[in-house]
Amino acid sequence: MHLPLSDMYNQPDERNLLDQMRQGVIGQPLDRPEGPLKVSGTATYAAEWRIDGCVEGVLVLAGIAQGQVSKIDRDAVLSREGVIAVIADPAMTRRPAQGMAAKAPQQDAAKVEYFGQPVALVVAQTFEQARDAALALPIYYTDAEGDPVPFDPAAPGVKVEAPSSSKPVEGGDLDQAMQDAAFSVDVEYDTPGHASAAMEPHATIAQWQGDSLILHGSYQMLSYNVKEIADCLGLSTDKVRIIAPYVGGGFGSKLGITHEAVAAALAARGLGRPVRVVMSRQQVFQTVIRRSETRQRVRLAADPAGRLIGLGHEALVSNLPGEKFAEPVTQATEFLYGGENRLLKVEVVRISRLTAGSVRAPGEAVGMQVLEAAMDELAEKIGIDPIELRKRNLPAEVPVAGTPYSSRMLTQALEQGAEAFGWSARQDRPCQTRDGDWWIGMGVASAARVNMMVPAKAKVTLTADGSAVVESDQTDIGTGSYAILGQIAGEMLGLPMSRVDVKLGDTVHPAGAGSGGSFGAISTGSAVMYACEAIRAKLAKALGCDADALVLKDGMASGGNAPARPLRDLLNGEDIAETGTIKPGKTAKSFSQASYGAFFAEVAVHAFTGEVRVRRMTGAFGFGRVLNAKTARSQCLGGMVWGIGSALTEELAFDTRDGHLVNHDLAEYHVPVHADVPAIEVILLEERDAAASPLQAKGVGELGICGAAGAIANAVYNACGVRVRSFPLTLDKILPALPDPFASGADTAL
Ligand code: MOS
């Protein structure tokens, strides 16, 4: 056994250490260790910390989409009972930066760029007093206009820009391929904006100790968030500590700091006492990032055998002027299917709606659902099974770039998923199956999501009593970080889970990856594994065997000719502490790394009303090693539930008169609830991928949404013959195109 020469992941670590261990906890569907705290209400979330002398802040949001704040009439509320201050500061109202360590743009506090942008903070003794004063605070505007820029590149005054974050992919001659094609599809789809709708609203308690700032908050990537807040307030990063052991969901909305954090920090500094700012659900909707709406043109050109010779995927997305983030709609299209003649491109329409940013599986979530619906259209034109079409179009290497795949379980996912789902019962033409007043149909879609590694550190201490402590500022946003990091350490050090303690979510610990882009588990997990490997080397030396020969199980060490000894003996009263590090290296470029899968959906479409019900879904996924079969399955389930929302209900609706977000709560923004979610089957395909990470695992957190809505849309078409190219597929879009409910086939029994 050798230690990695460099912490850069420059070549696949083929040693596959985890499979050589003996404890047998890795991959097991173990419960989350923090679960009992969460279900008993004793896990402390951001707003729940009790801090002496803490006062309450409530944000005040702009009531116009574009213009200037000319006056904030503080005096009108300062005399109210309990009101302490009204604060308006440029740093507080500017947008959260979207790029790593990017300087937030300097701008005038008084400039309003979207309806709902925070313009002031009211601080009072109690939350109710602060809220009351915030609602009453008079704000005056000049230059107020309505929604000046709709999501329409043809509208007057609209700017459309190439994003700085991605370049088009071009190869061959797509137009010619479309002309030469035996079968082709040229379609335009649109998808609406989405809210992340994390269960825990954004909240921060800020507390200064001298010139140092402590934030209790709800964030996804703490060491990055420290940089952001330090940048915002002009502090050095060592003056900022963030504590976030429990985070009630993020889905991208907590990747970056949000306004309440900056407002709380500024207010606490100004007032010399701790300040808590909790956003209301409506404020979260109005001010925290959204997923961009998209308009996507897909062109597919196939030869007579159903092989793609051309592939076009062009998307319009939106964001505020100056924002770097552009929903990377074509990210998976780049490597998923063949078609040497291609054009993949994203352009950004600049509009006055709240900042667009990463929302679970940015790019694939909306790109895959459209690509997969278009593939269904092509399969129908060719007259082949949609699964067969996909299998025929898996390239040997990434088109244009020529990069090899690290591993790809797409064929297996399609085949095993089809078997489990009962795909063979599907009718290949629409309107063939009825169950009473409902048309029944089945659909399939591929899943794909890029795998990413980001720099991560973790410290592991094997204490003298033979227990392990794992420490990292890695967050657990409901995904299972506590569980899987403990399992990796337990497996590597031969300890049962009862003897592994995982401490996360505090920047006093080494900087983990954070939770984002499905990279937390593989990045911070690899750091934990390397830290344990270093500990193993020391244990082997103490025992007197080669590191390769060391066997650790249930707190006992053995190996070579050395007699087995309890770890506690071997440690001889000393702790062993090691810090593991991993950074992305050459493997990130030399291999195309992605997690894959397949979705199957059966839907019922009401023959008279067009209402769609998802009856059942199956997902089969291959994402390298499964670190914990329960938490991985839950991620896939959650993604598929969002797929149902994307397909049928979720849509941010902006008022075109004044730009305000109309459905800014969970009553009006419809996420699937229990009654909308049928039995969902998840199949986990074991795989090893050494190029992706030393754990041989890939990301899974976002995979379950990447294409799921496409399978549902395809099932809707298969049921009733209505192809809706505008998500979500609400009944008003389906109803006008429904066939005669009494037409032939209507009496087919299910
Ligand atoms: Mo994810 S949208 O990168 O939290």
Same domain for 483 and 416, yes or no, is: no
Q: How far is CA 414 from CA 60, 624, 727, in A?
A: 50, 16, 24
Total H helices, total E strands in the chain: 20, 31
Measured in Å, residue 98 CA sits from the centre of ligand 1 at 12
CA angle (643, 649, 655) in 5-degree steps: 130
Measured distance CA(704)–CA(726) in Å, rounded: 21
Q: What pLDDT does residue 616 have?
A: 98
Residue with the larger pLDDT of the pair 631 and 89: 631
Residue 712: both structure tokens together: 């549902």
Q: What pLDDT does residue 89 have?
A: 82
Q: Is residue 167 part of a domain?
A: no
350 contacts 318 by C-beta, under 8 angstroms: yes
- Best mutation site among 360, 364, 477 for ligand 1 pocket (most ligand atoms within 8 Å of CB): 360
Mean pLDDT of 47-70: 95
pLDDT at 10 over 60: yes
Measured in Å, residue 61 CA sits from the centre of ligand 1 at 25
Domain, as residue range, for 17: 8-30+453-589
Same domain for 570 and 609, yes or no, is: no
Q: Which value, in Å, is the radius of gyration of the alpha carbons in the chain?
A: 27
DSSP letter at 321? Answer: T
Report pTM: 0.96
Same domain for 261 and 399, yes or no, is: no
Same domain for 656 and 544, yes or no, is: no
With bands split at pLDDT 50, 70 and 90, how would you rate the model's confidence at 98? very low
Q: Is residue 737 part of a domain?
A: yes
Q: Where does 649-702 have alpha helices with state H?
A: none
Measured in Å, residue 361 CA sits from the centre of ligand 1 at 6
Instruction: Specify the pairing of strand 118-124 against strand 55-61.
Output: antiparallel
Q: What pLDDT does residue 166 have?
A: 85
Task: Please state the atom number of ligand 1 nearest to the C-alpha of residue 358.
Answer: 2
Averaged pLDDT score across all residues of the chain: 94
Same domain for 447 and 458, yes or no, is: no
Same domain for 412 and 550, yes or no, is: no
Same domain for 218 and 103, yes or no, is: yes
> Tens digits of per-residue pLDDT, 350-384?
999 999 999 999 999 999 999 999 999 999 999 99
| Per-position b or e across 552-574, b if 16+ CB within 10 A of its CB | bbebbbbbeebeebebeebbeee
Measured distance CA(189)–CA(22) in Å, rounded: 51
Residue that terminates a domain, selected from 290, 325, 357: 290
Q: How far is CA 409 from CA 367, 371, 448, 470, 490, in A?
A: 20, 19, 10, 32, 28
Domains of the chain: total: 3
Q: What pLDDT does residue 584 have?
A: 97
Same domain for 438 and 582, yes or no, is: no
Same domain for 702 and 631, yes or no, is: yes
316 contacts 338 by C-beta, under 8 angstroms: no
Q: What pLDDT does residue 91 have?
A: 78
Q: Is residue 376 part of a domain?
A: no
Q: How far is CA 362 from CA 111, 290, 357, 358, in A?
A: 28, 11, 8, 5
Measured in Å, residue 81 CA sits from the centre of ligand 1 at 41
pLDDT at 271 over 50: yes
- What is residue 91's three-state secondary structure? helix
Element of type H or E holding 343: strand 341-350
40: amino acid identity, one letter = S
Residue 574: both structure tokens together: 């000393």
Q: Where does 191-248 have alpha helices with state H?
A: 222-233
Measured in Å, residue 358 CA sits from the centre of ligand 1 at 5
Residue that terminates a domain, selected from 290, 310, 337: 290
Task: Please state the atom number of ligand 1 nearest to the C-alpha of residue 360.
Answer: 2
Ordered strands of the 212-217 beta sheet: 83-87, 118-124, 55-61, 275-278, 203-209, 212-217, 240-243
| Per-position b or e across 469-500, b if 16+ CB within 10 A of its CB | bbbbbbbbbbbbbbbbbbbbbbbbbbbebebb
Ordered strands of the 468-471 beta sheet: 8-9, 576-584, 456-462, 468-471, 500-503
- What is residue 732's three-state secondary structure? helix
Of the chain, the end-to-end C-alpha distance in Å amounts to: 59
pLDDT at 626 over 50: yes
Q: What pLDDT does residue 365 have?
A: 98
Measured in Å, residue 251 CA sits from the centre of ligand 1 at 5
Q: Is residue 407 part of a domain?
A: yes
Measured distance CA(378)–CA(386) in Å, rounded: 8
Domain containing 107 — which CATH number?
A: 3.30.365.10
Measured distance CA(130)–CA(128) in Å, rounded: 5
Q: What pLDDT does residue 99 have?
A: 39
Q: How far is CA 559 from CA 20, 537, 577, 683, 715, in A?
A: 13, 12, 22, 37, 57
Q: Where does 346-425 have alpha helices with state H?
A: 364-382, 386-392, 410-421
Q: Is residue 476 part of a domain?
A: yes
- Best mutation site among 476, 702, 703 for ligand 1 pocket (most ligand atoms within 8 Å of CB): 702
> Tens digits of per-residue pLDDT, 164-207?
888 999 999 999 999 999 999 999 999 999 999 999 999 999 99
Mean pLDDT of 718-727: 98
Q: Is residue 413 part of a domain?
A: yes
With bands split at pLDDT 50, 70 and 90, how would you rate the model's confidence at 147? low
Bridge partners (DSSP) listed for residue 601 = 443, 617
Task: Please state the atom number of ligand 1 nearest to the C-alpha of residue 196.
Answer: 2
Q: What pLDDT does residue 106 have?
A: 43
Q: Is residue 634 part of a domain?
A: yes
Residue 230: both structure tokens together: 């330090």
Q: Is residue 317 part of a domain?
A: no
pLDDT at 103 over 70: no
Which residues does the annotation mark as catalytic?
A: 702
Of all residues in the chain, the percent with pLDDT exceeding 90 is: 91
Measured distance CA(505)–CA(247) in Å, rounded: 9
Q: For atom 4 of ligand 1, which residue has the closest CA?
A: 252
> Tens digits of per-residue pLDDT, 73-83?
999 999 999 99
Same domain for 435 and 458, yes or no, is: no
Q: What pLDDT does residue 94 have?
A: 63
Q: Write out residues with Cβ below 6 Å of ligand 1.
A: 220, 250-252, 255, 358-360, 362, 516-517
Q: Tokens 């795989």 sit at which residue?
A: 687
Residue that terminates a domain, selected from 290, 322, 353: 290
- Best mutation site among 291, 358, 635 for ligand 1 pocket (most ligand atoms within 8 Å of CB): 358
pLDDT at 90 over 90: no
Least Cα distance to 338 among 298, 374, 301 occurs for 301
Same domain for 557 and 609, yes or no, is: no
Task: Please state the atom number of ligand 1 nearest to the C-alpha of residue 251.
Answer: 4
Same domain for 554 and 620, yes or no, is: no
Measured distance CA(452)–CA(588) in Å, rounded: 8
pLDDT at 562 over 90: no
Q: What pLDDT does residue 251 have?
A: 97
Measured in Å, residue 669 CA sits from the centre of ligand 1 at 20
Task: Please state the atom number of ligand 1 nearest to the C-alpha of residue 253.
Answer: 4
